[in-house]
Structure 1
C-alpha cells in the first residue's frame, strides 16, 4: 500500500520548509525596518541552516548552533528572529524520530538561548522568566514532534496490517476460485480419461477458460488501488443464488441432494450472507471431492431473527474419506471468515458421514 499524502508531507519535511518559509518572510519584513541590516543576514542564515537539517540533520544542526552563538556577541538591536528556527528544527527531528539528534540539538540550542537571556536581562527575575519561556517552547515542540511521530508510526502499522489482511484475502480468493476450479478440472480430466469419451473434454476446456477468467479478474483487482475491496465484494452473488447454484451443481454430478430451508435466505444481512455463500461453495467443493454420489446428501438451513444455522451432511467415499481430525485449508479459511462476523464452524466426521455446520448471529445487523 502506498504511504498517505500526510505521511509524505511530514517525513519529507514539507511542514518544516513551510514553517521556515513563514519565518523567513517575517524575518525580511522585520529586518527591512531594522537599524542593523546585519541582523537580517544572520537571521536568514539561521533559516537556511535549519532547512539543511532535512538533508544533514547533525551537520546543519551544528551550523545553526554556530549561527545562534553569534547572537551572544551581537549588538542589542539585533532582531534575533533566527532563534525561532531552532524550534522548527526540534519539531522536525522529532517528527522524523531522530531522537538522539533532537536531544543533542535541544540541549545545545537551549543552553545558548539561556545564556543570551542573561546577557539581555542582567538583573531581576526577567532572565529566569525568559529562559523558562524558551524551555516551555522547546518542550511544546518536543511534545508535538513526538505526538506526530507516534501518529505516523500508528498509521504505518495500520498500513502494514491492511497489507497483511489484503494478502490473506488474496490467499482465500486463490483457494476459493482458482485452486478449487483447478481441482475440479483435474477430476474431470481423470473422469474423461477413465471413460474414454473425448466429448467430456469439451466441459474440461470450458472449465479451464472459466478458471483463466477468474485468474485475470483477480490480477486486475490487484492492480487496482482498491483491490482489497474488489476482492471482498467483486463477483459475489446472493446467498439464495449461491445455494441454488451449489445444489444444482451437485445434482448435475450425480449427487442425491435434498434441501430443507426454514426461513428466507434473502433475509440474511449482506455481510453474513457473503460469508455463508463462500462457505456453501467450499462445502460443495468438499462434497464433490470426497462425497459418495450414490448416497444421500443433505443441506439444511434454519433462519430466525437472531441467527442462521446451516449444515451440510454427506456420506464420504471409502477411497476419499478425509481424516476426521484434519482441518483442510478451505475450512481453516472459513473459520477465519466466520470469526470476523462472530460465527462458529463445526466440521467433524461421524462414522461414514461428514458434517459441516455453521452458525452466524444476525441480530442487530442490517
Structure 2
C-alpha cells in the first residue's frame, strides 16, 4: 500500500506556501503601521531592530516544519520586539496547534502571549484601553489562533483517515480481484486439461501406431485414422465449448456447460475400450442412492485422468477400475495398472494432471493418493458422499 503523509503535516504545494506567506504579510501590514504611528522616532535603533527581527522571522519560517515548537517560540518572542514579526508568529502558532498535542500548544501559546505583552510594554500604543484589557485581548487572539490550528489539524486527520481507508479498500479490492482472476485461470486450466488430455492422448497413441507399425492391414490403418479424426474433432468441439461457455457475452457471468456425472463413467470406459485400451471396470454402491452430481463429476474427472495417464505411460496394459461406497462410508475409487512396458508415445507432460486431481478431491472434502505398489501403479481416492 502506498505511504501517505502525516495528517498533521501534509505536503505543501507552491500555492499553499504562497497564500500562507501572503497571509503573514497581510497581518504584518495591519499591525506594523499602528506601532509606527505610535513611535516618536522611526529612525533610531528601535526601528532597525524592528525591521531586522521582522525579516528574520520571515526567514526562519522555512524551518517551521522541521522544528515547529522552536520556531513557534522564537517567532513569538521576536514579535515582542518587532510588530513586523506578528504575521510569522501567527503562522508558526497555528502550525504548531495543528498537531493537537497539548504540551507544545501550551508552550508556544505562552511564548506568543509573552511576546505580545513585551510589545505592549516596550512599544505601548495609546488606544485608551487599560493594560489588563489589552492583555486579555492578546490572550483571546492567541487562543483563537491556537483553536483555529487545532480545528485545521482535526480536519486534516479526518481527511487523511478517509483517504487511508479508501486506499486500503482499493488495495484489498485489487487483491480480491487478482485472486478471483487466479482462481478462474486455475479453473480454466483444469477444465482444459480434463477435456483435452484424454482426447489428445488417444490421437497420440493411434498416430504412434501408424508411424511405427508396418504390419497393420489397410483396414486397421483406416480404423486408426478414423479414431484420430474422431478424437481430433471431439477435442476441437470440447475446446470450443470451454472457450465459448466460460462467460456469457451479455452479462459477463460465468456459465457452465452440462457437466459429466457418475453415470457417464461407463461411457468413458467404453470409449477407452473402443480406442484399444484394456479396461476392467466394476462398481458396487450400496443403498441404491444416486451419487450426488458434484461427487460424480469429480469421480469422472479422476477416472478420465487415470485412463489418460495409463494410455501415455503404460500402453498395452490392463487398467483396473473399481468403485465402491455407501452413504456412511463415502465413495472409494481404486485404479490400478501394471507399470509401463512396450512402446510409449512421445507426448508432452504438463505435470498438472495429478495435482489437479488432488485439488478436485480436496475441494469436495476427500483425498487422493497415488504411487507404486510393487509392479503396479495405484491411484486411490476417497470422497465423502455428501461434501
* Paired position in structure 2 for 1:62: 14
Among residues 191, 194, 202, which one is paired with 1:173 in the alignment? 191
C-alpha distance in 1 between matches for 2:260 and 2:281: 22
C-alpha distance in 2 between matches for 1:355 and 1:183: 20
Superposed CA offset, 1:217-264 (max 9, x none): 33335676788944xx334122222x2222222333352413122247
The runs of 5 or more residues in structure 2 that have no matched partner are 1-9, 28-64, 69-90, 98-108, 113-136
Query: By how many angstroms is 1:341 displaced?
Result: 3.1
Task: Summarize the Cα distance change of 1:267–1:143 in structure 2 as closer, same or farther, 3 Å threshold.
Answer: farther
C-alpha distance in 2 between matches for 1:362 and 1:69: 77
* Paired position in structure 1 for 2:278: 255
Q: CA RMSD in A?
A: 3.9
C-alpha distance in 1 between matches for 2:322 and 2:209: 26
Larger Rg: 2
C-alpha distance in 2 between matches for 1:63 and 1:299: 79
Secondary structure in 2 matching 1:181: helix
Find out whether 1:114 has 2:137 as its counterpart: no
* Paired position in structure 2 for 1:26: none
The runs of 5 or more residues in structure 1 that have no matched partner are 1-56, 76-103
Superposed CA offset, 1:251-306 (max 9, x none): 33352413122247964444444333221211122233345657462322313246
Superposed CA offset, 1:65-110 (max 9, x none): 43465555679xxxxxxxxxxxxxxxxxxxxxxxxxxxx9xx9xxx
Work out whether residues 316 and 342 of structure 2, in 8 Å CA contact, stay in contact via their aligned partners in 1: no
* Paired position in structure 2 for 1:123: 139
* Paired position in structure 1 for 2:242: 218
Work out whether residues 262 and 301 of structure 1, in 8 Å CA contact, stay in contact via their aligned partners in 2: yes
Work out whether residues 238 and 273 of structure 1, in 8 Å CA contact, stay in contact via their aligned partners in 2: yes
Query: By how many angstroms is 1:211 displaced?
Result: 1.3
* Paired position in structure 2 for 1:203: 227
C-alpha distance in 2 between matches for 1:335 and 1:238: 18
Find out whether 1:288 has 2:311 as its counterpart: yes
Secondary structure in 2 matching 1:314: strand
- Equivalent pairs counted in the alignment come to 267
C-alpha distance in 1 between matches for 2:147 and 2:95: 13
Query: By how many angstroms is 1:142 displaced?
Result: 0.9
TM-score normalised over the length of structure 2: 0.57
Task: Summarize the Cα distance change of 1:287–1:332 in structure 2 as closer, same or farther, 3 Å threshold.
Answer: same
* Paired position in structure 1 for 2:363: 340
Write out aligned runs for 1:315-326 (5 A).
315-319=338-342
* Paired position in structure 2 for 1:147: 165
Task: Summarize the Cα distance change of 1:70–1:340 in structure 2 as closer, same or farther, 3 Å threshold.
Answer: farther
C-alpha distance in 2 between matches for 1:296 and 1:219: 32
C-alpha distance in 2 between matches for 1:219 and 1:139: 50
* Paired position in structure 2 for 1:188: 206
Task: Summarize the Cα distance change of 1:181–1:312 in structure 2 as closer, same or farther, 3 Å threshold.
Answer: same
Superposed CA offset, 1:29-53 (max 9, x none): xxxxxxxxxxxxxxxxxxxxxxxxx
Query: By how many angstroms is 1:307 displaced?
Result: 3.0
TM-score normalised over the length of structure 1: 0.60
C-alpha distance in 2 between matches for 1:127 and 1:315: 89
Among residues 304, 309, 325, which one is paired with 2:332 in the alignment? 309
